[in-house]
Structure 1
Amino acid sequence: MYAILDIETTGGKYNEEGITEIAIYKFDGHQVVDKFISLVNPEREIQPFVVNLTGINSNMLKSAPKFYEVAKRIVEITEDCIIVAHNSQFDYRILRTEFKRLGFVFKRKTLCTVELSKQLIPDQASYSLGKLTRALGIPVSDRHRANGDAMATVKLFKMLLSKDLDKNIIKDNVKLDITKRINNTHKAIIDGLPAVTGVYYIHDENGEIIYIGKSKNIKHRINQHLTNTSSKSKKLQLHARSVTYETTGSELVALLKESEEIKRNKPIYNRALRRTVFTHALYSFKDSNGYINLRIDKTTVDEKHITTFSNMQSAKSFMFRVVEQFSLCQKLTGLYPTKTNCFNYTIKSCNGACISEETPEDYNKRVEELIAKNSYDNKNMVIIDQGREIDEKSVIYIENGVFRGLGFYDLNHQINNIKVLESIITPMENNRDTQHIIQSYLRRNKRVKTMQLNTK
């Protein structure tokens, strides 16, 4: 659990500042579960430059509660939480100073979104909250007021959680959480999970991730893990102490994150991620008559393929579909071995490429259309899919045929600006696994939107 906060102060000498406004959002890693927002009477003068910056003046604070009147609420809402702030060193120091004046020792773990942003979103022109959120397309209202800045920090922190592929942030949080409820039962774990699409992480008593998986229904999948009687499930049940998760909205995003994060974290109970989750591929070649032939064969490292398949049956089903869809020849696609015409020519479904009745130019146009539709080789494009919330979409970025990464964007924000797109994207490795995941997903989900990009 996190307490994401922002504090406005009077300014002045070090450790003599007073709080003029405070906003705290209690955040469970997915949504805000509690909040506290209040002006505070600092019982001291506000520096003129601060008045100009925040708009908060002494007249506004005359009837505001003094710090000792809100202290109990601050203690309650931040209890058992990690404090998160943009430049947390400042906000945490101010809070501790105010509590020290009351004779109370205020101690919490802290996280700084400035430092996290430098690690997870490198090479930004500025890491000030205003400039950073603008560069990332995060909407901010009421800048330099506690509520506006705290809510902007919530949105920034949510993006940072998504970008943290090594899961260092959640592992630290889980350690704190497990010490509070070391005897938690499997039923309590399941009860606390949602029935949503995403990636889940099973942790041991030290907070370490021992298994990563993805599901369209996380609650149902974890229930299976913790109730199944297979040897793998029994091992997980023995060591599982907590489950965290990341909602993705999109199954494609979940598949890509699962693949990347298993490789990075190497959880003990994940079988080594297979280098080839696909056994067969679609290849093309030109015959002596100039016709582009297609063939399904076992995947090889040396030969360049068009797309890949999990098994031979999946590949054959695909070929039968596209032969019909693009009016292709069964003989030239390897589905009907013959020295004469194919069966489809007999029933007038083939235009006669098998016996050179149709010209190679006419036939090859349709084959090239099929290849272009099922390969993103050399393309600059984004795949737009469901987001985690109604007003959000997920985006998978492909540059010159190379998968660059994924992210989420607000529907009110345009992503055709390459610089903004690159800022919101979490960089990921491009490999044969990701190519297979993306291509097979696009084959199965015809309604997914793709958009070509102009990178000039």
Structure 2
Amino acid sequence: MQFAVVDIETTGGYASGNGITEISIQIHDGTRVTERFDSLINPEHSIPAYIESLTGISDEMVASAPKFEEVADRIYNLLHDKIFVAHNVNFDFSFVRHQLEVAGYHLQCKKMCTVRMSRKVFPGFPSYSLGKLCNSLGITLNDRHRAGGDAEATAILLGMLLEADQEGHIKQALNKSSKEQALPPNLAKAAVDALPQNPGVYYFKDQKGNVIYIGKAKNIKKRVCSHFTGNNLGPQRQDFLKNIHHVEFEVCGTELMAFILEAVEIKRLWPENNRAMKRFEQKYSLFSFIDQNGYIRLGIDKFKKQGPSLYNFNSLSEGHSLLRMLIKEHLLCERLCFIQKNRIGCVGHEDGKCSGACVGKESAAAYNVRVKYAIQELHQMLPSFAVIDQGRTEDEQSCLWVEKGQFYGMGYISQYTDVKDMSQVKSALKPLPSNDYILHLILSYADAHPGKKLSIEF
């Protein structure tokens, strides 16, 4: 086997928006380095000050260096029929492949990550960064953070790995059916192999065990692996993959339960890489209060997490439609419900549809009776039901519980549980927070699968 040990220096951390400033390629025949190519590269834009201080490569140094396209043919011919080797290979490979694509070359070759292989062949070291790993193995590392010095150390590391790999980790990783080299450098293949092919939720964690991303899946293993494929070269994905050290999961009985658990867990843990679900918020609420004259007032206002609400809405028009319906059916006062704000007496009073609470003609006690009936009707309108579905095993069933228009919780019950005994069913469930997103998921599913829906009577 022929290996191409590669190291590059760049102007930044992601390939699509940055350039290569230096490249070193060392051809290794499995025993020794047989050929070497080193060159500074003109990235065609300025090198940030912090990169210059790290690498020592300045704009002046690369001003007369060849542009990547000028050496692309040489680089492609060195790489295309070799195994591409680098320390955190996906980083270097993403830059080199991107630059070759721009120059008109399509690089397809096997990859080998010396971070991943070192973890397998030399387990137990406190760190697998190139500098600390070389120190642990006694490898002399010259010109740190320069392509030539780092590539030379990586080539020595490759030789040590090939010699010490008695269990065949490298051969197994390079097998065509193995997807290991596509995995993030710090994520163990065994952790991915252990993932189930069931619906559920998965958690990516960083080196300290902090959750950095939560996802849901119909097939956990397939979905997790999909994160590591594709050609997205943006900074967010590059940083995301680099920080994945662990993956954990929780199996769910159904895909719907996975959707719900994902929403709950994102709100609970607030991972830095979950953005779409964080943006979902309930916007408006129907609320009630007693004013200084003793009248119960209904109104629509912005949703408040800590405030009691009778009903929640995603739009102001949706809230006003429901409130107008209650006003019409229970002869409530539009002014006391904040539909009209600039009149002493409401239009309904002039039309005989309001008994005059707005102008003091109807007592608070009489008016409040109708308001209470309106609230009671609203509660009766809110659905209460359970969704009984498949469980995680053949011996159990899953259950989702909705009570008076609010998601109560979910869990699992035995196949032999009497589902008509609702108090027994409810006691087996785990209470979870509700929001309109979760409720909409459940209502849509129940409408599509009426045979799985059981009404709850109070």
Task: Please indicate the TM-score interval, normalised by the length of the shorter structure.
Answer: 0.3 to 0.5
TM (norm. structure 1) is: 0.39
